[in-house]
Structure 1
Amino acid sequence: MKDDTPGRPTAHALLADGTTVGIRPAGPADHDRIRALYDAMSPETLRLRFFTAGRGSAEAAADLTCGPPRPGHLALLAETGGDVVGLAEYDTGGAPDADTAEVSLAVADHLHHRGIGTLLVEHLVSAARAAGITTFAADALSENHEVLRLFAGLGLRTARHFDGPEVRCVIALDQSDTYLTAVEERGRTADVLSLEALLRPRTVAVIGAGRRPGSAGRAILHQLRSGGCTGRLFAVHPTARSLLGVPCHPSVDALPVTPDLAVLAVPADAIPAAAEECGKSGVRAVLVVTGGLDAVQGRELLDTCRSHGMRLVGPNCLGLANTDPDQRLFATFAPRPPSAGTAGVAVQSGGVGIALLDGLSRLGIGVSTFASLGDKYDVSGNDMLQWWESDGRTDLALLYLESFGSPRAFSRTARRVTRRMPVLTVDAGRTEAGRRAAASHTAAAATRTMTRAALFTQAGITATRSCGELLETAALMHSQPLPAGPRVAVVTNAGGAGVLTADACAEAGLQLPGLTTDLAADLPAHAVTGNPVDVTAAVTEDQLTTCVDRLLRHRAVDAVVVALVPTALAAATGDDLVRALTRSGRHPKPVVAVRLEQALPVELLPAADGTTVPSYAEPQAAARALAHAARRAAWLARPLGTVPALDGVETGRARVVADTFLDRHPDGGWLHPREVAALLGCYGILQAPWAWAETEEDAVLAAERLRGFDGRVVMKGHWPGLVHKSAEHAVHLDLRGDSQVRAAFRDLETRFAGLLDGVLIQPLADRGTELFAGVVQDEVFGPLVLFGLGGTASDVLADHAARLAPLTDHDVHDLITAPRCAPLLLGADGARPADLAGLEQLLLRLSRMAADLPQLAEADFNPVLATPESVTVLDARVRLVPRAPQDPYLRRLR
């Protein structure tokens, strides 16, 4: 019996106009729908597609697309409203190991110029790469300008060869930064347009506002009614004619106009039906404040939003706000609307959202837009970053995110946005550490804390440890210029306050340079002009102003911290001293105050020229904020990193090694040393010489072949699943002569009877620094590369740094210099530095291996011996698991 049921979309994505389309593979059940796509095309479109206006070619193409599956062929459909509106195919012709495929494309006539074809080709490119295809080829008529522009605009390297009226297009499918940037730009345009209905709605309907006070829906309706909505406002209620003076209608389709935005505040079991009603009525976006949806209700809600092309905020959220006077929206049940300003705020926790809004209001920092994302079914922090990047109002972004849908896509967006504005976050969930006893050194070290820190560091995001620290840092970055460096001058009118402030600055990683400027002539007697500068309690307003101004002009000073204590001496009351900080206005270097008697943790003091100066109750807060600002300045000053090209990499052969192992071990596992060597050889990673032996005689012969200049070797036991050889006492060092080799083999054979399947023999390594390098594949964040001190001390000292792959040249530099053991590598105390170029190559090749092979669950190189002459892996472990490749940069809604 013929199956006439189409498959479910495997992905939804945004088109150029912000609407949504479903994408999925074509199947036999799609034959009639594909025929309908072709039948609706004009003769001119058919001629451009098939080089003939006859419909016989279209019928044959539909038959071929939906015929029996054939190797090297994939067809992807775009559909909306149950109709197929686009089709893209590639076909290698069934040739084994083919790396080139013919590609074809068709889009419904009435939907041209909306990005359907480009989106389908992007998804086709991603699938082709995963299948090992490196090149697309396509024939087009030279007058088919639209398809030629599409291929040229992809961001991929495209060559054209003209042959009469036809053009042969050859497209290289390498995932270059140029291509990813082009995909990002298309995605950003579509994303921002899709959020218009959420953040700038012309019409809003609230569904679930009851007659009695106390419900979230009624509170939101009240906020909207009280000036929180510049557009038209309606309520949906089965019986009421009006609520809070807002006209009511019994259903969404009974409204006089279709809302852009519907706020759903009905009980959880009614949410799917309410969303379906909105979708059928043409609503473009929904805000679901209701919480407590079970898995089925949540799935139905998201499916409904996807099928009808609605963007979704929530469920289980506080709401949305936009303070633009011309497009004001206050659809939250927060107690007070935010004041208008330039700070964008996005949170997953409603409680944190209220705290941040209150804190910003107290500081006088207004908000541009606010989004409480709740359970984050759809709209995410990535969406909000792209909105702020484009809205023309936001210059400071504050995030509180408990989860990441696509961290690598988020990282690319954040790297771009943080070049334009500070992006601050609270690093929530830092205590999730937990080590696995059976894990490699890499997996044990790769905590979620380390993974998130790598994401934030590489993206240039300022990560704080609390909401208070977030607000403290926001106050400084909102009001002051960034420091050019970490050098701070501390000025105080009380010695003890100066000492506390100096300690806080040093502990935060700031520097207190010596000062050569002669300040004594402008200060009271007995002033101390070191750093800290103690101006004494007798300082006047004018003297303090002069001192601070001179320090700000000092070449060795990047910022000035003024720690004040109110006194009754001379005319210098507390207010006078504060006025001294604020009367001279903005300076190209930051100034911050510390006032130990201050009631609030942080305040913004108004200056005479309309600017503000941040004032902190604790010196630690001021120092933390300045340190964050200095790190941001350093990040901005560094050029963008690049992923270096590597020679001698055989990705295809590496995939064969991985696939062959997983064919024999469907559940995955640790590779045999021979397989590890084969895999590392594909990436040019140098291992120390070794030999495998399964008998005592083999061990003796191997030792004779491998003995170094002094005749000493190492023997390491091996069996499937062994991770920590030293911990199991399965290693014998410094073996000399045949008798010691035989004794060592017998010892391992006796102690590990029934486990041991062989031993590795290696020459005893030279002296050098023992390091550790590894990678672990995080299910959400992707591959994380770790580096640090190795050997038996690796787990004990935990001297590791981490960065997410793929590594840039800057990332590699940071990995090598971040651990505490870095001075050993850089040549401390006159010693020769290690082979730093070799270390860089090792880390880059490890990163490339992890990026190429999603099956790579763990790779653990410990120890890695670094000497001035070379970098050599002495011991390597690799674990593979069955895992399909996923393109983190593919445009699709979560």
Structure 2
Amino acid sequence: SPASVCIVGASRKENSLGKAMLNIMQQMDYRGKIYPVNPNADVINDLQVYPSINALPEIPDLAIVLLPFQMVADALEQLGKFGIKNVVIISAGFREIGGEGIEREKELIKIKEKYHLNLLGPNCMGFFNTAPGTSFNGTFSPTVPNPGNIAFISQSGALGVGIMELAVDTDLGFSLFVSTGNKSDINDNDILEYLYTDPNTHVIAMYLESIDQPEIFRNICRKITAVKPILAVKAGRTESGLRAASSHTGALANPEYIVDGFLKQCGIIRKNNMKELFDSARVLTYQDLPKSSHIAVVTNAGGPSTIASDAIEKAGLELARLSKRTSRKLKKILPVEASVENPVDMIASADHNTYHDALEIIIEDDAVDAVLLIIVRPPVNTTPRKIAQTIEALIYNCAKPIIAIVMSRNDNESGLKDFKRLNIPVFKYPDDAVRAMATLWEYQKIQQRFRRSETIVSTRKMGQTLISGRGAENNQVPLKNLIELLESYDIKCAPNIISAAEENICRFQKSAHDSIVLKIANEQIIHKTETGLLKLNINTKDELLSAMDELKTKANPFLPADVKPLFLAQQQVKGGVELVLGGKRDSQFGPVIMVGIGGIFVEVLKDVSFKIAPVNAYEAKEMLSELRSQALLNGFRGQPPVDRDAFGYTIQQFSLLLAEHPEIVEIDLNPLIWAESQNKAIAVDIRAKVK
């Protein structure tokens, strides 16, 4: 927190940013010195105004610049010469508008580097800090923020203004707000480092439009999420802008899929919108984490509890199975018409004493680790306010999270102030409350995961660099080289031979114990199935010779005139679920791997999970758990189940391969077929593209 601040561009004009900034700073009872700078004023808001930066009586801790963009560079130069080290540039008209704005921002960066400045912005809203004894507001928001324990980092300043305005009438309280703007110097990583040790911040919420320095960001976030939750809304979830790609991985690697996987690896809980973000933030601020996903619902109305039950299942939570002892106790205090199973419907006659007695019984049940308390305004002689007051002693002695759903108009009897005093978040609708409760459990799992996770170190393999074959136009790696590389990482391929000689292929078929598969292996031809260059279920020499003749004829139009068809004969792997492992080198995040349900429908089903390579054993298995087709992985209609530990090991090895071979641009193993007899996924179709 600055002990003194100068406002370059402070103004007497009402409705100007320079006046708004000064007004709000004084309204927050800032205890430091304020030095307005304006050559055309003597006094503003009873403060002495200084005609220039050089006229200031001391070197302030912070300078805030609110000038037209044409004047900003000169002002920054003067601030640097005067010795001020910390600068916030509110002014817009830089990189965000493109063209000349990009050049103007480059000039600011040069000045910043020349004087070793710490620069926030440009094109930002500033920051505030509500810590006790600080109360500094360096924004132009017209709303004084509620103090609290949520830090909010936003790349959009206008969005920050809107959130502050909406938060006034809620129980949302903020420790810190920072608008990062164009992030020409200070970025999310710098702010996160500060928040890691900030005692006044318990929860971090972020609005992101871009992620800078992903590896640094990931390391900081993993450190923070061990002690504080991070929630984020990342803008841009559409599929526009995808480039055409030769591999399945390239086609499926929507930047948002990659971002989603990256944020999970950071330990960040991603939210769909700002309402979900702050609903979850206030619950995480006030409530303990549940020990499990087992939830009890206590209600005086059946409809809302049914909605809550559906939402609980959809969110991956579970209705707790109440003990027989709990049910017997509930029967003694509830009418015969009431339900003593979960959800516990006490019916409309329940008053504040009924709520107290039922809640006391339920929170004593070891099978219950969290409670949703639904209150539809009772027709009997009670109110939500009376209910909150009656359960007060229970709440203070309960370590299990409790969220209230009060379906009532907001008045003196709605109990909102009483629930807030008890640190119980209140929602109007069951769906919103369940989503917030699910976030508590998600953060509990993140903490458990990071306690079990190990760091994986990858080392570039200088002596094993892959090169492309004769298919220079698509930079495909010869299959022989790729198979050798995969097997060096303990990734098993189907027994095979690659040859242009008929006698070699026939010898392989004769020695095979089962059917074989024949494909064209030339790297100039990428997709075999689409071009008909694949033959299955070959059992005899005659079938093999016929298949070779057919594939030769079909392959020749796709090959250069001086290149002969090259055959890949494989032992046919039968049965088992078809999986896919893919990898690509992303321009922002580096090596990215994809795991999913494979085969010819991989791009249709899009049942895939992405993470940044390399991944550890826990992250590898987590990728499998993120797939929708869990029934297939668990064994469906006689198919063998996939051993998640064994396939997780293959995923981990594959991620190391990609991380240690930066020459690989894209790589696909599709499909891998799960072979129960070997307890391994066998790669039967592979391809890789190099730089």
Regarding TM over 0.5, the answer is: yes
Q: For residues 717 and 796 of structure 1, what CA distance do their matches in structure 2 show?
A: 25
* TM-score between both structures, scaled by the size of structure 2: 0.90
Letter in structure 1 aligned against 2:452:
L
2:263 to 456, 465, 481: 456
1:295 aligned onto 2:105: no
Does the 8 Å CA contact 1:348/1:400 hold for their aligned counterparts? yes
Does the 8 Å CA contact 1:261/1:285 hold for their aligned counterparts? yes
Does the 8 Å CA contact 1:604/1:615 hold for their aligned counterparts? no
Q: For residues 388 and 638 of structure 2, what CA distance do their matches in structure 1 show?
A: 49
Q: For residues 609 and 281 of structure 1, what CA distance do their matches in structure 2 show?
A: 48
- Note the C-alpha offset of 1:393: 1.6
Aligned residue for 1:196?
none
Q: For residues 746 and 307 of structure 1, what CA distance do their matches in structure 2 show?
A: 72
- Note the C-alpha offset of 1:684: 3.6
Q: For residues 838 and 483 of structure 1, what CA distance do their matches in structure 2 show?
A: 31
The alpha-carbon distance between structure 1 residues 832 and 733, as it changes in their structure 2 partners (threshold 3 A), is: closer
Q: For residues 608 and 339 of structure 1, what CA distance do their matches in structure 2 show?
A: 17
Q: For residues 650 and 365 of structure 1, what CA distance do their matches in structure 2 show?
A: 48
- Note the C-alpha offset of 1:320: 0.8
Identity %: 28
- Note the C-alpha offset of 1:554: 0.8
Letter in structure 1 aligned against 2:515:
R
Aligned residue for 1:852?
660
Letter in structure 2 aligned against 1:425:
A
Does the 8 Å CA contact 2:388/2:418 hold for their aligned counterparts? no
2:448 to 621, 624, 637: 637
SS in 1 for 2:394: coil
Aligned residue for 1:388?
195
Letter in structure 2 aligned against 1:686:
K
1:235 to 8, 14, 36: 36
Q: For residues 707 and 566 of structure 1, what CA distance do their matches in structure 2 show?
A: 80
Question: Where does 1:770-781 land on structure 2 (aligned, <5 Å)?
Answer: 770-781=578-589
Question: Where does 1:473-622 land on structure 2 (aligned, <5 Å)?
Answer: 473-515=280-322, 516=324, 517=326, 518=328, 519-569=330-380, 571-582=381-392, 584-586=394-396, 587-598=398-409, 605-607=416-418, 610-622=421-433
2:155 to 318, 325, 348: 348
Q: For residues 460 and 448 of structure 2, what CA distance do their matches in structure 1 show?
A: 36
Question: Where does 1:668-679 land on structure 2 (aligned, <5 Å)?
Answer: 669-679=475-485
Q: For residues 678 and 742 of structure 1, what CA distance do their matches in structure 2 show?
A: 27
Question: Where does 1:115-134 land on structure 2 (aligned, <5 Å)?
Answer: none
Does the 8 Å CA contact 2:37/2:51 hold for their aligned counterparts? yes
SS in 2 for 1:363: coil
Q: For residues 457 and 80 of structure 2, what CA distance do their matches in structure 1 show?
A: 48
Letter in structure 2 aligned against 1:443:
G
The alpha-carbon distance between structure 1 residues 645 and 347, as it changes in their structure 2 partners (threshold 3 A), is: closer
SS in 2 for 1:546: helix
CA offsets 1:485-504 (integer angstroms, 9 cap, x no match): 11111121111122122112
Does the 8 Å CA contact 2:25/2:138 hold for their aligned counterparts? yes
CA offsets 1:269-307 (integer angstroms, 9 cap, x no match): 222222222222221111111112111011111222122
Aligned residue for 1:99?
none
Q: For residues 666 and 693 of structure 1, what CA distance do their matches in structure 2 show?
A: 20
Q: For residues 620 and 830 of structure 1, what CA distance do their matches in structure 2 show?
A: 38
1:749 aligned onto 2:548: no
- Note the C-alpha offset of 1:338: 1.4
List alignment gaps of at least 5 residues for structure 1. Answer: 1-199, 882-894
Does the 8 Å CA contact 1:801/1:819 hold for their aligned counterparts? yes
1:732 aligned onto 2:535: yes
1:818 aligned onto 2:626: yes
SS in 2 for 1:305: helix
The alpha-carbon distance between structure 1 residues 392 and 577, as it changes in their structure 2 partners (threshold 3 A), is: closer
Letter in structure 2 aligned against 1:701:
N
Does the 8 Å CA contact 2:171/2:282 hold for their aligned counterparts? no
Does the 8 Å CA contact 1:791/1:863 hold for their aligned counterparts? yes
SS in 2 for 1:219: helix
Q: For residues 257 and 526 of structure 2, what CA distance do their matches in structure 1 show?
A: 22
CA offsets 1:337-381 (integer angstroms, 9 cap, x no match): 213322211111123212332344333333221101112222222
1:317 aligned onto 2:124: yes
Question: Where does 1:385-464 land on structure 2 (aligned, <5 Å)?
Answer: 385-432=192-239, 436-464=243-271
Q: For residues 434 and 721 of structure 1, what CA distance do their matches in structure 2 show?
A: 27
1:791 aligned onto 2:615: no
Q: For residues 685 and 207 of structure 2, what CA distance do their matches in structure 1 show?
A: 41
Question: Where does 1:868-887 land on structure 2 (aligned, <5 Å)?
Answer: 868=676, 869=678, 870-881=680-691
Letter in structure 1 aligned against 2:311:
A
Q: For residues 639 and 497 of structure 2, what CA distance do their matches in structure 1 show?
A: 33
1:705 aligned onto 2:508: yes
The alpha-carbon distance between structure 1 residues 509 and 408, as it changes in their structure 2 partners (threshold 3 A), is: same
Q: For residues 468 and 307 of structure 1, what CA distance do their matches in structure 2 show?
A: 42
1:369 to 176, 180, 200: 176
1:843 aligned onto 2:690: no
RMSD: 2.8
Letter in structure 2 aligned against 1:688:
A
Does the 8 Å CA contact 1:475/1:604 hold for their aligned counterparts? no
The alpha-carbon distance between structure 1 residues 707 and 605, as it changes in their structure 2 partners (threshold 3 A), is: farther
Letter in structure 1 aligned against 2:538:
L
- Note the C-alpha offset of 1:386: 1.3
Aligned residue for 2:16?
215
- Note the C-alpha offset of 1:227: 4.3
Q: For residues 415 and 522 of structure 2, what CA distance do their matches in structure 1 show?
A: 64
Does the 8 Å CA contact 2:385/2:415 hold for their aligned counterparts? no
SS in 1 for 2:169: helix
CA offsets 1:147-186 (integer angstroms, 9 cap, x no match): xxxxxxxxxxxxxxxxxxxxxxxxxxxxxxxxxxxxxxxx
SS in 2 for 1:753: helix
Letter in structure 2 aligned against 1:874:
V
Does the 8 Å CA contact 1:703/1:713 hold for their aligned counterparts? no
1:688 to 476, 494, 498: 494
Q: For residues 568 and 247 of structure 1, what CA distance do their matches in structure 2 show?
A: 62
1:651 aligned onto 2:454: no
SS in 2 for 1:229: coil
Q: For residues 419 and 393 of structure 2, what CA distance do their matches in structure 1 show?
A: 5
- Note the C-alpha offset of 1:672: 2.2
Q: For residues 572 and 638 of structure 2, what CA distance do their matches in structure 1 show?
A: 26
Structure with more contact order per residue of length (Cα contacts < 8 Å, sep ≥ 6):
2
* TM-score between both structures, scaled by the size of structure 1: 0.70
Between the two proteins, the alignment pairs up a number of residues equal to: 670
Q: For residues 40 and 662 of structure 2, what CA distance do their matches in structure 1 show?
A: 56
Does the 8 Å CA contact 1:653/1:682 hold for their aligned counterparts? no
The alpha-carbon distance between structure 1 residues 283 and 678, as it changes in their structure 2 partners (threshold 3 A), is: farther
Aligned residue for 2:98?
none
Letter in structure 2 aligned against 1:486:
S
SS in 2 for 1:221: helix
Q: For residues 834 and 615 of structure 1, what CA distance do their matches in structure 2 show?
A: 43
Does the 8 Å CA contact 1:346/1:372 hold for their aligned counterparts? yes
The alpha-carbon distance between structure 1 residues 725 and 244, as it changes in their structure 2 partners (threshold 3 A), is: farther
The alpha-carbon distance between structure 1 residues 797 and 588, as it changes in their structure 2 partners (threshold 3 A), is: same
The alpha-carbon distance between structure 1 residues 708 and 289, as it changes in their structure 2 partners (threshold 3 A), is: farther
SS in 2 for 1:262: strand
Letter in structure 1 aligned against 2:507:
E
Q: For residues 672 and 802 of structure 1, what CA distance do their matches in structure 2 show?
A: 26
List alignment gaps of at least 5 residues for structure 2. Answer: 95-100
The alpha-carbon distance between structure 1 residues 736 and 365, as it changes in their structure 2 partners (threshold 3 A), is: same
1:257 to 38, 54, 58: 58
- Note the C-alpha offset of 1:873: 1.4
The alpha-carbon distance between structure 1 residues 373 and 703, as it changes in their structure 2 partners (threshold 3 A), is: farther
1:306 aligned onto 2:109: no
Aligned residue for 2:67?
266
Letter in structure 2 aligned against 1:642:
E
The alpha-carbon distance between structure 1 residues 250 and 742, as it changes in their structure 2 partners (threshold 3 A), is: farther
SS in 2 for 1:362: coil
